[in-house]
Amino acid sequence: MSIKRIILLVALHIFLVGNAQEKRFTQAALLDTLIDTQGNRVTFASVLKKHEGKPVFIDIWATWCRDCLVAMPQLHELMDDAKKVDFVFISLDRNQDSWRKGIEKYDLGQREHYFSVEGWKSDLFSSIDLDWIPRYMIIGPDGKIELFKAIKLDDIELKRIIDLNHKK
Which pLDDT score is estimated for 20?
Answer: 44
Which pLDDT score is estimated for 7?
Answer: 63
Strand partners, 91: 61, 115
R_g of the chain, CA atoms, integer Å: 18
Q: Which of 58, 29, 36 is nearest to 128 (CA)?
A: 29
> Architecture of domain 24-166 in CATH?
3-Layer(aba) Sandwich (3.40)
pTM for the full predicted model? 0.84
Q: What is the pLDDT of residues 90-137, one digit of tens each?
A: 999 999 999 999 999 999 988 999 999 998 999 999 999 999 999 999
Distance separating alpha carbons of residues 148 and 23, to the nearest angstrom: 7
DSSP-H helix ranges across the chain: 3-19, 27-30, 44-50, 66-70, 72-81, 96-105, 123-127, 156-161
Which pLDDT score is estimated for 163?
Answer: 87
- Note down pLDDT in tens along the chain; length 168 residues: 677 666 655 555 555 544 444 588 999 999 999 999 999 999 999 999 999 999 999 999 999 999 999 999 999 999 999 989 999 999 999 999 999 999 999 999 889 999 999 989 999 999 999 999 999 999 999 999 999 999 999 999 999 998 887 665
Which pLDDT score is estimated for 109?
Answer: 80
* Contact residues for 136 (Cβ-Cβ < 8 A; gap 6+): 57, 58, 59, 60, 147, 149, 150, 151, 153, 155, 158
